[in-house]
Amino acid sequence: MKCYVIPAPKGIESLTLVERPEPTPGPRQVLVRVKATSLNYRDLLTIEAQYARSAPKPDLIPLSDGAGEVVAVGPGVSRVKVGDRVAGCFMQRWFGGAISESAMPSAMGGAIDGMLTELAVLEEEGVVKLPAHLSYEEGATLPCAAVTAWNALVEIGHLKAGDTVQIQGTGGVSIFALQFAKMFGARVIGTSSSAAKAERLKQMGAEAVIDYKATPDWDQEALKLTNGRGADITVEVGGAGTLPRSFMATRLGGSIAVIGLLSGMATLDPMPILRRNLKVQGLYVGSTQMFEAMNRAIEANGLKPVIDKVFPFAEAPAAYRHLKSQKHFGKIVISHA
């Protein structure tokens, strides 16, 4: 089989196409012929040796997100069968419940090999069936960004109709958060410095989009837009550079799901958390059971992921470069067909 590896993370140019023997699934494992993968900001950090969680293993097969067809199953497998259309789960050993120490070392495309390959062996409980109306390319966008957004809004934020959700930017997590919020009948306020991207957010249902460069005090603008109340749930992808404003843009007793560190790290004043009774929760994607619940909602509502561009397998490095350019809106996909 052909696969891409990162011999040593020295930038996008270190992505190397190699051939390896075809793998065989063991007990309670499945072999998936990967049809499509998608990129996340984490993948760029990994290949540029900026990922804070841990150094990737040598000759890592990158990318956590992929979808394909089950072509073989190992002994004892009962959850899926040959021919099923599936997506791999970000963490191969977090089936349900609270995250555990044993789940952490099973994150694909980082701790273990990922999906930028023709064939992948996955755990039986580390795959979920794709919603019937989604293509492999659309299904490949779900494992990290979509599950993260679902966890932030539904599991942590207990999203309900009539809530206000604050999102930041137009990356994969934020776009899925907008789609899920609208699916639940919630109101969405976004931020973006791009007029074109802001208009697209509004076309997708965002009630208002604040230009955070033209309006640096965007938290005050968010309060005005909610009559001084603030958002019920804030999906925080910026980190230290945006968290202080997220504290003020979120209502008393509201929830902030801390997902990313796009704006860097710094020392933060915890006083707003105390004074505003905020629930500030970090999260690291989600479990297989969350993925399955999300897929049921996606299928019931006919939700379609937003794909910016699809690259062929042979042009995987170009997909990385497009991600780095930050010109995309929604997900960047690699087709393995």
Tokens of 20: 């390896």
User: Dihedral (C-alpha) 103, 335, 300, 31: value to the nearest 10 degrees?
Assistant: -50
Tokens of 258: 């801390």
DSSP characters for 235-268? EE-S-TTTHHHHHHHEEEEEEEEE---TT-----
pLDDT band at 28 (very low <50, low <70, confident <90, very high): very high
| Strand pairing report for 307-312 and 331-335 | parallel
pLDDT band at 53 (very low <50, low <70, confident <90, very high): low
**Mean pLDDT across 224-251:** 94
pLDDT band at 172 (very low <50, low <70, confident <90, very high): very high
**Mean pLDDT across 111-128:** 97
**Mean pLDDT across 289-306:** 98
Cβ neighbours for 300, distance < 8 A, ≥ 6 positions apart = none
pLDDT band at 54 (very low <50, low <70, confident <90, very high): low
Cβ neighbours for 88, distance < 8 A, ≥ 6 positions apart = 32, 64, 65, 66, 67, 108, 115, 120, 122, 126, 127, 143
Q: How far is residue 191's CA from residue 198's CA, in Å, rounded to a whole number?
A: 8
**Mean pLDDT across 129-139:** 98
Q: How far is residue 140's CA from residue 193's CA, in Å, rounded to a whole number?
A: 28
Determine the 3-state secondary structure of 122 from DSSP.
Answer: strand
Q: Give the residue with greater pLDDT, 50 vs 312.
A: 312
Residue 238 has pLDDT above 90, yes or no: no
Residue 263 has pLDDT above 50, yes or no: no
Q: Is 212 left (phi over 0), alpha (psi -120 to 50) or beta?
A: alpha
Q: How far is residue 89's CA from residue 290's CA, in Å, rounded to a whole number?
A: 10
Asked if residues 181 and 161 have their Cβ atoms less than 8 Å apart, the reply is no
Tokens of 5: 């590896």
Question: What percentage of residues in the chain have a pLDDT greater than 70?
Answer: 96
pLDDT band at 266 (very low <50, low <70, confident <90, very high): low
Q: How far is residue 193's CA from residue 212's CA, in Å, rounded to a whole number?
A: 6
**Mean pLDDT across 280-291:** 96
Alpha-helix runs per DSSP H in the chain? 41-47, 136-139, 147-150, 172-183, 195-203, 218-225, 243-249, 271-275, 288-301, 316-325
Tokens of 266: 């710094």
Tokens of 186: 């919630």
Residue in this structure with the two tokens 């930041």, named with its chain if needed: 168
Residue 268 has pLDDT above 80, yes or no: no
Asked if residues 111 and 45 have their Cβ atoms less than 8 Å apart, the reply is no
Residue 252, CA distances (Å) to 232, 278, 313, 331 in order:
8, 6, 48, 33
Measured at the CA of 321, the angle between CA 86 and CA 331, to 5 degrees, comes to: 35
Tens of pLDDT, residue by residue over 307-317, are 999 999 999 99
pLDDT at 322: 97
Residue 256 has pLDDT above 50, yes or no: yes
Mean pLDDT over the full length of the chain: 94
- Please give the DSSP secondary-structure letter assigned to residue 130: P
**Mean pLDDT across 119-137:** 98
Residue in this structure with the two tokens 């995987």, named with its chain if needed: 316
